[in-house]
Chains A and B, each alone.
Chain A
Amino acid sequence: MSWLPALLAAGLVTFATRLSFIALLGRREPPPVVVRALRFVPPAVLSAIILPEMLVRDGVLRPTLDNPRLLAGVVAAVVAWRSRNVLLTIAVGMGALWALQALGLR
């Protein structure tokens, strides 16, 4: 049960971010610098998760053309950019990864 306190605390901080302005600033706008900083949270957090998933395998940096996740990720990025469709991006990206793995890339 050692994970339980961390899990509860993780739930609590998530709830706190969602309740924050709803509870505290019901009649006021948040400070402008906070709003400006928040705009950059999604692109910063998302790409900080994405790029290691594509470029690092088993703790090793693999920025090479025999890395199937890098290639499939690039294909998915083109689909995402053109279509803005989440499901299509996932489908094409997984299809590309499986095709590359079938060709022997690991």
Chain B
Amino acid sequence: MSPAPPTRRRELWSGCLDELPILLGVVPFGMIYGLLAIRAGLPTLVAQAMSSIVFAGSAQFIAAQLILERSPGLVVVLTVLVVNLRHLLYSAAMAPRLRHLGLRWKCLLAYLLTDEAYAVIATRCLRDEARPEAAVSPHRHWYFLGAGLTLWVSWQVSTAVGVLLGAQVPAAWSLDFTLALTFIALVFPYLRDRAGLAAALSAGALSVLAYGLPYKLGLVLAALAGIGVGLAAERRRA
């Protein structure tokens, strides 16, 4: 006899708990976003609203900069789209695991599907795959909800703290550089093979060369070109 599957509440709770360690990196990032958004001149309401409407750290950093530069709305939306394209990958990975759920659950979990929630959820799914299919809890989506909600709440709160502190942190601290530093840490796992390296180097170089283009169009063009270079490099090796 296999033991009874965990209850919904147990699943929800263990999702919350498993998300906790990752908050160590998320909370400072949220505070820094709030700080920067305010220091750069975004109204309090806009800075905070973006955290619940967009709910994607890196895209929020970029969008705040673009709004400040008075970029056209279309440019803001396009840039956010390119920066968030990687979520397509998470969505594809989650799709078979959420197939049995109704649309409302799918929408809710999709809204909560950030890098950090996905990291925790993917680890759980990897654990499940090592077990027979019948042993996988029927309430697993409550675990996903727990992980996603924990991240959501801490993102809103840490953003609010940053927004409140915003005006008191001097520009000389150069806290905006933490964005680049975070991304430096995040990019390395993708550079293990030659195609990934080619995509990164070409996108980076193009982005520097095209920096003079208005509204960060250079960023969007360089990212798209880098994806193309990566594909081409992979095909040449195949």
Contacts and interface: CB of A to CB of B under 8 A. Distances in A.
Size class of the B contact interface (CB-based, 8 Å):
35 or more
Given A52-B211, A90-B178, 18 more contacts: A6-B77, A13-B77, A13-B84, A19-B111, A23-B110, A26-B96, A42-B187, A44-B199, A44-B229, A45-B223, A46-B187, A49-B62, A55-B208, A73-B181, A80-B188, A84-B189, A90-B182, A90-B185
Contact of A17 (B74, B91, B94, B226): B91
B25 A86 contact: yes
B73 A17 contact: no
A5 interface: yes
A48 B76 CA distance: 16
A85 B188 CA distance: 10
Interface residues of A, number: 66
Interface string B180-195: 1111111111110001
Interface of B: 24-25, 28, 46, 49-50, 53-56, 58-59, 62-63, 67, 73-74, 76-77, 80-92, 94-96, 98-99, 103, 106-107, 109-111, 113, 172, 174, 177-191, 195-197, 199-208, 211-212, 218-219, 222-227, 229-231, 234
A67 interface: no
Contacts of A94: 174, 177-178, 181
